[in-house]
Amino acid sequence: MTSLPLLVSELVQWRATEAEVEATPCSLIPSREPGTGEQYRFHFDMSKCIGCKCCVVACNEQNGNPAAINWRRVGEVEGGHYPNTQRHYLSMGCNHCVEPSCLIGCPVEAYTKSPTTGVVVHSADACIGCQYCVWNCSYGVPQYNPERGVVGKCDLCHNRLSDGEAPACASACPEGAIAIEIVNVAEWKASYAAQQTPGLPAGEDCISTTRITLPAHLPPDLGRVDTQHLQAEAPHWPLVFMLVLTQLAVGSFSLLWVLDAAGGLVEASRAGALLLGIASVSLAASTLHLGRPVYAWRALRNLRRSWLSREVFALSLFAGIAAVYAGALWVDLPHRGWLGVMTAVAGAAGLLCSARLYMVPARPAWNSFYTPVEFFATAVLLGPLFVSALGGAELRTVAVVGAGLQLGVQAMRFLWLSQSEAFELRAVARLLGGRFQNLFLLRMAILIGAGIALPLVVTSPGGQAWALALALGGEILGRWLFFVSVVPQSMAAGFSTSRGAA
Of 262-291, binders to other proteins (CB under 8 A) are: 290-291
User: By rule CB under 8 A, what string of x and - marks binding of each residue 293-312 to other proteins?
Assistant: xxx-----------------
Minimum CB distance to other proteins, residue 231 (Å): 11
- Our finding on whether 125 is near other proteins (CB under 8 A) is yes
**Contact call for residue 488 and other proteins (CB under 8 A):** no
- Between CA 295 and CA 272 the distance in angstroms is 29
180 forms bridges with which residues in the sheet?
A: 42
Cα–Cα distances (Å) from 263 to 248, 309, 342, 362, 383, in that order, read 22, 37, 18, 47, 18
Stretch that binds other proteins, among 124-132, 382-390, 419-427, 480-488 (CB under 8 A): 124-132
Q: Segment near other proteins (CB under 8 A), from 8-16, 246-254, 264-272, 319-327?
A: 8-16
Determine, following the binding rule CB under 8 A, whether residue 120 of this chain makes contact with other proteins.
Answer: no
* Residues in region 379-398 near other proteins by CB under 8 A: none
Tell me which residues in 63-92 interact with other proteins (CB under 8 A).
Answer: 63-64, 66-68, 70, 78-83, 85-87
Q: What is the CA radius of gyration of the chain?
A: 26
Q: How far apart are CA 479 and CA 461, in angstroms?
A: 27
| Residues 163-192 contacting other proteins, CB under 8 A | 163, 165, 168, 172-175
Return the range that interacts with other proteins (CB under 8 A); candidates 4-12, 201-209, 250-258, 415-423.
Answer: 4-12
Select from 126-134, 186-194, 317-325, 396-404 the region that touches other proteins (CB under 8 A). 126-134
Of positions 27, 116, 159, 459, contacts other proteins by CB under 8 A: 159
Binding test (CB under 8 A) with other proteins, winner from 95, 131, 252, 497: 497
Closest to other proteins by CB, 52 or 458: 52
Burial of 145 (0-12, 13-18, 19+ CB in 10 A): middle
> Which residue, among 99, 105, 114, 155, has the nearest Cα to 134 in the 3D structure?
105
495 contact partners, CB below 8 Å, separation of at least 6: 76, 225, 226, 229
Q: Choose which of 92, 150, 312, 379 interacts with other proteins (CB under 8 A).
A: 150
Q: Which residue, 168 or 271, is less far from other proteins as judged by CB?
A: 168
Contact stretch for other proteins (CB under 8 A) within 120-128, 249-257, 259-267, 386-394: 120-128
Give the nearer residue to other proteins in terms of CB position, either 8 or 262.
8
The region of 1-9, 31-39, 113-121, 339-347 touching other proteins under the rule CB under 8 A is 1-9
At its nearest, how many Å lie between other proteins and the CB of residue 150? 5
Quick note: the x/- pattern for other proteins over 321-350, rule CB under 8 A, is: ------------------------------
Measured CA to CA, the distance from residue 142 to residue 499 in angstroms comes to: 14
- Using alpha carbons, select from 348, 354, 374, 371 the residue that is nearest to residue 444: 374
CB nearer other proteins, residue 5 or residue 115: 5
Residue 118 neighbours by CB distance under 10 Å:
22
The answer to whether 372 touches 356, Cβ cutoff 8 Å, is: yes
With CB under 8 A as the contact rule, the residue among 16, 42, 45, 60 that binds other proteins is 60
- Per-residue CA distances from 116 to 95, 160, 337 (Å): 16, 16, 55
Size of the site for other proteins (CB under 8 A): 73
> Which of 21, 25, 37, 50 lies at the binding interface for other proteins (CB under 8 A)?
50
Q: How far is the C-alpha of 332 from the C-alpha of 343, rounded, in Å?
A: 16
CB 87 to other proteins: min, Å: 6
As measured in angstroms, the least distance from the Cβ of 481 to other proteins is: 15
Alpha-carbon distance of 131 to 483, in angstroms, equals: 13
Alpha-carbon gap, residue 491 to 497, rounded angstroms: 12
Please name the helix (run of DSSP H) or strand (run of DSSP E) that holds residue 370, with its range, or none.
Answer: helix 370-389
**Minimal distance, residue 435 CB to other proteins, in Å:** 5
| DSSP-derived secondary structure for 322-345 | HHHHHHHHHTT-TT-HHHHHHHHH
Q: Is 435 in the site for other proteins (CB under 8 A)?
A: yes
Nearer to other proteins, 212 or 250 (CB): 212
Cα separations in angstroms, 97 against 73, 114, 160, 201, 359 = 17, 11, 20, 13, 20
232 binds other proteins (CB under 8 A): no
